[in-house]
Chain A
Amino acid sequence: MYIIVVGGGRLGYYLAKALLDEGHEVLIVEKNAIICENIVEEMGSVCIRGDGCETATLDEVGTGRADMLIAVTGDDEDNLVACQVAKHKFNVPRTIARIRNPKNEAIFKKLGIDVTVSSTNIILEHIEEEVPTHPLTHLLTIRDKGLEIVEVKIPPGSTTVGKPVKELSLPPESILPLIIRKESKPIVPTANTILQAGDQVIAVTTPESEEALRTALRGA
């Protein structure tokens, strides 16, 4: 695949490296001449100096034949425009924008960007995972279906410990596909599976039902 990466900062640099390792044809477009030189010196001629939001630059780098454009500059508005230009001027099939302000996720979606990756949200989620008392961890969001996969830890002393799954009052749109248990194989729970302290319950739910799910699994 031919992939254009707009922005040669830390994210663009490591992204390009990873994509090159996977065997893709990669080109970084970076405004800053010094950053550009450093990349070329290290990785070869995979970086061109220019403004990735400019039609002329994108034309020059052959965006017309690109399979994907990924905009990872530090400015949300630049990433938006780079993706829109790629999409509407050059018909690039897939555009991905990094966003820093999580609020922009909905806006970008509405403005036609295929995929957005919110670096702030991802960092937050990872930190959440490391906070041991955090009752519910987001693992994955299936955005176009409005679903998410979360993990709920069952602490000792929860009122639900010892109860079978069928007795939990789960919110209607939530299902439990997996329970990860210490020193045992992961299990696919049935109606009669008994919850144990320390279980990591993986659930599919909706953002609206998160609270109800947490209560159902851990007790009030």
Chain B
Amino acid sequence: MGCGRVGGRLAGLLDADGYTVTVLDTDAYSFRRLPPEFGGTALIGNGINEEALKRAGIEEADAFVAVTQGDNRNVMAAQIAKHIFNVPRVICRIYDPLRRELYNTLGLETFSPTTVFAQMLKEKLES
């Protein structure tokens, strides 16, 4: 869910590895980020909408990744995937480190690029 730079790239990588991939985004223009050889499905739709998720095949999905720009959208979609559709593996991007911490304790698998990247930069500078 979310075909930005990260979502588009991830979809391309997974597709190249032979997985069946569906990318969901509200903006068709975002699909330009998919590599030309992308063999999966690109669907227009909002990932916080049950119908859109069903169309994307969430009921059969083994994994769901929420990487839109909106933390709350990601959180809501990830919770729908996990608690309503029982997707076995759900990963959710949350930029806000405090919010990430909370949802982590609530059982979502989350990561915050903010924390990760800041840490990485610090280590780079110190090395």
Contacts and interface: CB of A to CB of B under 8 A. Distances in A.
Interface in B90-127: 96, 98-99, 101-102, 105-106
B83 to A, nearest CB: 6
A55 B72 CA distance: 13
B15 interface: no
A76 B99 contact: no
23 contacts: A53-B99, A55-B98, A55-B99, A55-B102, A56-B98, A75-B72, A76-B76, A77-B72, A77-B73, A77-B75, A77-B76, A81-B72, A81-B75, A84-B106, A88-B105, A103-B50, A107-B50, A107-B80, A107-B84, A110-B83, A110-B84, A111-B79, A111-B83
Interface string A81-94: 10011001100000
Contacts of A75: 72
Given A53-B99, A111-B83, A88 B71 contact: no
Given A77-B70, A77-B72, A80-B72, 14 more contacts: A55-B99, A76-B76, A77-B73, A77-B75, A77-B76, A78-B72, A80-B76, A81-B71, A81-B75, A84-B75, A103-B49, A103-B50, A107-B80, A110-B84
Nearest to A111: B79
Given A89-B102, A110-B84, A111-B83, A101 B76 contact: no
B72 A53 contact: yes
A54 interface: yes
Nearest to A103: B50
Interface of A: 53-56, 75-78, 80-81, 84-85, 88-89, 101, 103, 107, 110-111
A53 B98 contact: no
A81 B77 CA distance: 11
B48 A76 contact: yes
Contacts of A78: 72
Contacts of A76: 48, 76
Contacts of B71: 53, 81
A147 to B, nearest CB: 24
Interface string B39-74: 000000000111100000000000000000011110
A127 to B, nearest CB: 24
A33 to B, nearest CB: 20
B3 to A, nearest CB: 18
Contacts of A81: 71-72, 75-76, 99
What 4 A-B pairs come out closest when comparing CB atoms?
A55-B98, A77-B76, A77-B72, A81-B72
Contacts of B76: 76-77, 80-81
A81 to B, nearest CB: 4
A54 B99 contact: yes
Nearest to B74: A77
Contacts of A110: 83-84
Contacts of B80: 107
Contacts of B70: 77
A85 B102 contact: yes
